[in-house]
Structure 1
């Protein structure tokens, strides 16, 4: 029998974040599992290509190229928030090598439950430190070290305007629910019970029914929306358990 290729986790970060959001989780999984996490277009240090519309499918294409460039042959997608929707869109294409999908407080396949007022306020918040600090307080529930807080703020502020607005106006509103019937790998959802952005009930109502039968919804007590930062130990343990079943 041919040897089974080692399993790699590929993290897809949240809107206005960056790949290094997964660093603490990656450290906890090492050396048993490799963990790679690219910066998605327009965020972190990723390029802002001219002409990109920053759609969900544009991010899928970027991740597909990243997988090919890094010769990743067997992997689990760990999609957080915006990255969760991207992970599901990629999984629906049944790419070779995909072994499973872990969704951390994911943006649902349906349009996000965001009011026009909330969307406009987020657009107006672009590039403002005071607004980034307000967002930080809203999306976290557990205390974080000051260097981590500063990293989260800086990631927010260095997001490109095009990518920022495109997600609010288009990506978050995309409906990819019809594609979910082709997701054929094991999945799991992880959510914080103190998440003021995507409550566990949103996942239970809008995402879980569209995933393979038996997909669990794991709840992390006392955690907000930024699970990789707030609950790296719990996330790493759940990822390790999920990987052991594949």
Structure 2
């Protein structure tokens, strides 16, 4: 069966493209999902002179889309990947049809106290801290194999990419670019997201999205929507592909 639509999925900070494996398995056969590891995470090393800014990540994703010869696609951005997806979508790239944001880092600086940033910096490379992070950012029960995957992804992040996001990327303000968004958007947020709360999304993300964009809460879910609630994500994607 020929592919009727492609989804390009951008993962969360300290994660990898395999965070979308459950989502890929639940999509209709006539669609495809591409979920690259972003530079500095998973198995993807950063290009020479990569500066880890949101713009640099958007450049990298744009090049990835070009290498895959995509002419019609939807962007999915989860958490950190959401901030990157918004920056890329604001460029009005050819072929982009729609945008689904999953508990995104807002276009404005992500709200995080100095103490929390320092604690996150100090947690780098520590298995016990990675396990604590898994507990704090999920709310629905997940199989042990997925818990292990989340922890392993956390621990194989490069320290440069880890610190760059905490110190700079998450603080970037791209709100001035948001009026350039010209594709349909949806915003999906876990009801019990403790990393970036529904209240933050209502205040810092939703008002900057195109008029008519809906915010949908996923009952019971935490921050890791592609793992905790893949069927809810697929349902939200239903409007994006041709019938």
Q: For residue 36 of structure 1, what is the aligned residue in structure 2?
A: 34
User: Bigger shift: 11-20 or 28-37?
Assistant: 28-37
Which of 204, 207, 224 is the aligned partner of 1:206? Answer: 204
How much does 1:49 deviate? 2.9
User: CA-to-partner distance for each residue in 1:158-189, whole Å, 9 max, x for gaps?
Assistant: 00000000000000000000000000000000
CA RMSD of aligned residues (A): 1.2
Which of 128, 131, 140 is the aligned partner of 1:130? Answer: 128
Contact 1:193 1:220 in 2 (8 A): yes
How much does 1:36 deviate? 0.5
Q: For residue 77 of structure 2, what is the aligned residue in structure 1?
A: 79
The equivalences for 1:227-238 within 5 A come to 227-238=225-236
User: Bigger shift: 236-245 or 204-213?
Assistant: 236-245
Secondary structure of the 1:219 match is strand
Under a length normalisation based on structure 2, what TM-score does the superposition of the two structures give? 0.97
Under a length normalisation based on structure 1, what TM-score does the superposition of the two structures give? 0.96
User: Which segments of 5 or more consecutive residues in structure 1 lack a partner in the other structure?
Assistant: none
User: Which segments of 5 or more consecutive residues in structure 2 lack a partner in the other structure?
Assistant: none
The equivalences for 1:58-137 within 5 A come to 58-137=56-135
Q: For residue 152 of structure 2, what is the aligned residue in structure 1?
A: 154
How much does 1:61 deviate? 0.8
Secondary structure of the 2:241 match is helix
Secondary structure of the 1:16 match is coil
How many Å separate the matches in 1 of 2:242 and 2:228?
24
Alignment of 1:169 with 2:167, yes or no, is yes
How many Å separate the matches in 1 of 2:30 and 2:139?
30
User: CA-to-partner distance for each residue in 1:179-206, whole Å, 9 max, x for gaps?
Assistant: 0000000000000011001111111111
User: CA-to-partner distance for each residue in 1:109-130, whole Å, 9 max, x for gaps?
Assistant: 0000001100000000000000
How much does 1:244 deviate? 5.2
The equivalences for 1:163-202 within 5 A come to 163-202=161-200
How many Å separate the matches in 1 of 2:80 and 2:134?
16
- How many pairs does the alignment contain? 241
